[in-house]
Amino acid sequence: MDMAKTLGSAGIIPVIVIEDIAKAVPLANALVKGGLPVLEVTFRTACAAEAIAKIKAEVPGATLIAGTVLKMEQLVAAKAAGAEACVAPGFDPEIVKAANRLGMPFCPGVATASELSQALGLGCTMVKFFPAESAGGVKYIKDLLGAFRWTGVKFMPTGGVKPANAADYLSVPEIVCCGGTWIAPKDAVAAGDWARIEALAAEAAALVKQIKG
């Protein structure tokens, strides 16, 4: 899987937390129908792997990315569940090496030039810039690119990205996508308000189309 191409085709990646497995499929359906087919299911809950497997089996249009992969067992569980790639909020060289051995595309989180340099040294071609706004936002990424653009690295900023600033990020060619938590609000998921989530996804998809064409 070419992570930059696949995630870049969506532009905005919904970052979702599934606490009730019964909500996994309807949530995924709403997001895909809204025009956001690449989903990051975070390993912040015990049912994350089950949710990935269930969505993969029942929502044909969805591409599943495992998020918040911090431990070896999570990496293994994500692969077994059918995730096509993994994302982490931080940089752990041992996890990156394990992902390489498993043949699992991996996008580690970085917030400094040193972390980015180490990630590139381990073969990572795409990184998650986290927490994006708190770590310096678009300006900081542009400053990093001043030294690292020649490597071909691509970025997925996450953390503080929202409709008001998403265009600023996506207008940078090396930023292929942004992670967004606003698309599947906790209260909407809890209430099963799939129409609201589909509408938020459609708005995000339209924003991407407006910026990237």
Residue 128 designated active-site: yes
Q: Which of 54, 56, 79, 128 is catalytic?
A: 128
Q: What is the phi/psi pair of residue 127, to 5°? A: -130, 155
40 is an active site residue: yes
Q: How far apart are the first and last CA of the chain?
A: 23
Phi/psi at 201 (5° precision): -65, -40
Buried b (16+ CB within 10 A) or exposed e, 166-179: bebbbeeebbbbbb
CB 82 within 8 A of CB 53: yes
23, 40, 79, 154: which one is catalytic?
40
- The structure tokens 């381990």 sit at 122
| Catalytic residue positions, numbered | 40, 128
